[in-house]
Homo-oligomer: A and B are copies of this chain.
Amino acid sequence: MINMSKVKILSKGSTNIPWQDKPEGFEGLVWRHTNNPIIGWNPTPSTARVYNSAVVPYEGEFIGIFRADHKDGKARIHVGRSKDGLKWDIEDKEIQWKDEKGNDYQPDYSYDPRVVKIEDTYYIVWCTDFSGAALGLGMTKDFKNFVRLENPFIPFNRNGVLFPRKIHGNYALLSRPSDSGHTPFGDVFLSESPDLVFWGKHRKVMTKGAAGWWQGVKIGAGAVPIETSEGWLMLYHGVSTTCNGFVYSMGAAILDIDNPSKVLYRCKDYILTPEESYETTGFVPNVAFPCATLHDETTGRIAIYYGAADTYLAVAYTNVEELVEYVKNNSVLASGDEKEWR
């Protein structure tokens, strides 16, 4: 299949990503993998639940960095390997971090990792313990040796997503400032760094709310943004509140390619919300939480990895032209989204 789309993916991907065609008669934009969830309860001896996790192409196959809640209830991150992106071999032991001097530098807990390749290095951002939930940052070239860098920010922050390339010479990081609890608020900010040590030039990117109640409580960047001919395609999560807790849905936005603090378009409605039993029931009911995508720039296909009910790992599919055109044609911004807000 040749991509005749007007919307081109510019980020480098891989041609062997998981894929299922859209089911006949399906009217949505994003369709679930038929054998979801791809990872169920107790995937390894130590771990109870593997869910909000990240994947990247690696040496013709795939590497995953998995959020694994152990049977002691504490979250840690683990490496896994897969030939097809669907059947995963996950290490039972968590990632062992060293600092830049080679000393042990192990976090007390780690969760919701995102992974991105920038130039020849893979960077992992996760939520770590810094006497309060904060972003952890580390790097690897081989997924065997892991070097932990300085924490980008002081607490509190749980959702950090790096862009896949420098912008105007600086690394760029999306994140959502939060509080010390379950945080009934949250917007997306952008920060820059010349060296991954010192961060600044912070900008507000996107505000919760906009048109829909599904994103009325808080929003946070999901997968690493995909560079397209229309701007940065950012999958994100939006949270609604109910009498029985939060509901996490999936949305999509398009950010200005040269200044991603400006939102160009943002979907009015969610593109996926918890409906299936593996999304609506589990350790935390009603969560669909995207952390990664794989894409094939030659076809425009995108596979979305999302945590389901803080219990399962699930996959869904879309294609770039359909998604981008939909977001452009069904966009409602929140006040200030369109500007560079410093």
Contacts and interface: CB of A to CB of B under 8 A. Distances in A.
A92 B222 CA distance: 47
B177 A156 contact: yes
A187 B186 CA distance: 21
Nearest to A194: B198
Given A154-B191, A177-B155, A180-B179, A131 B336 contact: yes
Interface string A56-72: 00000000000000000
Contact of A199 (B177, B183, B199): B199
A144 interface: no
Interface in A88-140: 130-132
A220 to B, nearest CB: 13
Interface in A169-221: 175, 177-180, 183, 185, 187, 189, 191-195, 197-202, 204, 207
A325 interface: no
Nearest to A198: B198
Nearest to A130: B204
A151 interface: yes
Complex A-B, nearest 3 residue pairs according to Cβ-Cβ distance, in ascending order:
A198-B198, A179-B179, A198-B200
Given A179-B180, A195-B198, A198-B199, 15 more contacts: A130-B342, A131-B204, A150-B202, A150-B342, A151-B202, A151-B342, A152-B200, A153-B202, A154-B177, A154-B191, A155-B177, A179-B179, A193-B198, A198-B198, A198-B201
